[in-house]
């Protein structure tokens, strides 16, 4: 009896621990992919590949988001991992958008088109500055008001990208030399790594909010 009981306890413990092991493995995999992605973006920037082939820059913004969204849709394990992520950490990730101040500095130095740099730089700064407030005052989203305010904050962050992309395209078409700085290292890390990483974070936050609303 004692041996059978020990087996049952061991089996139950293994089943209970399995999701945690899976989540840990996914976290390690995602961290590894992020590191490889970052190193690759740095290598492309340093080698000036994206300075020569500037038209493919948008692929580095869009492809990672599409891949993550597709895998998220078909993988229950990835969805479980994403739903288990701490919302505060995802929100605080937006503090990296303080790097958008580089656009303002480049504009002040006469190296970047103002029509692109000013709205993009200031909106990035606003999102980065308010990220700690959103993280610690709007989460956990126990009330409808908090959910709505967090949703508004996310929409503002996404709107920044929605505005910056067409502004960049227009500025590049009108005066290509005024946008060269965005394809140079280290600024090129912003669109090739920072932007898709933050967009994926928004995707996860919206998925978490949608799930919370369904469970309410």
pTM: 0.85
pLDDT-based confidence at 54, cuts 50/70/90? confident
Residue 96, both tokens: 């990296």
Closest of 104, 164, 100, 108 to residue 131, by C-alpha: 100
State the total domains in the chain: 1
pLDDT value of position 90: 95
Q: DSSP class of residue 85?
A: S
Residue 213, both tokens: 């609303």
pLDDT-based confidence at 20, cuts 50/70/90? low
Closest of 60, 99, 58, 87 to residue 146, by C-alpha: 87
pLDDT value of position 216: 64
Sequence-distant (≥ 6) Cβ neighbours of residue 128 within 8 angstroms: 94, 95, 96, 97, 98, 100
Closest of 190, 195, 206 to residue 85, by C-alpha: 206
Range of the domain at 76: 2-215
> 86 or 12: which carries more pLDDT confidence?
86
For 11, other C-beta atoms within 10 Å of its C-beta total 10
144-163 pLDDT, tens digit each: 899 999 999 999 999 999 99
pLDDT value of position 23: 79
Average the pLDDT over 59-80 and give the result.
92
pLDDT value of position 119: 94
Q: Where are the alpha helices (DSSP H) in 85-143?
A: 87-92, 101-108, 114-137
| Terminal Cα distance for the chain, rounded | 44
CA distance 101 to 123: 9
Q: DSSP class of residue 113?
A: -
CA distance 97 to 197: 11
CA distance 86 to 80: 12
Whether 58 shows a pLDDT value over 90: the answer reads no
């Amino acid at each position: 009896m004692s041996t059978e009981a020990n087996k049952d306890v061991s089996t139950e413990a293994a089943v209970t621990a399995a999701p945690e092991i899976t989540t840990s493995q996914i976290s390690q995999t995602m961290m590894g992919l992020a590191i490889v992605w970052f190193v690759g973006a740095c290598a492309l920037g340093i080698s000036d590949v994206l300075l020569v082939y500037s038209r493919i820059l948008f692929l580095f913004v869009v492809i990672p988001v599409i891949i993550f969204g597709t895998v998220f849709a078909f993988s229950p394990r990835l969805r479980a991992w994403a739903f288990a992520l701490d919302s505060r950490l995802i929100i605080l990730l937006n503090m990296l958008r303080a790097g958008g101040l580089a656009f303002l500095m480049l504009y002040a130095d006469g190296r970047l088109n103002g029509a692109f740099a000013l709205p993009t730089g200031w909106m990035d700064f606003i999102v980065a500055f308010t990220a700690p407030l959103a993280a610690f005052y709007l989460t956990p989203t126990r009330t409808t008001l908090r959910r709505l305010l967090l949703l508004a904050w996310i929409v503002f962050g996404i709107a920044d990208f929605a505005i910056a992309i067409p502004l960049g395209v227009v500025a590049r078409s009108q005066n290509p030399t005024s946008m060269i700085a965005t394809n140079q290292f280290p600024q090129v890390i912003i669109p090739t790594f920072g932007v898709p990483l933050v967009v994926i974070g928004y995707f996860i936050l919206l998925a978490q909010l949608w799930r919370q609303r369904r469970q309410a």
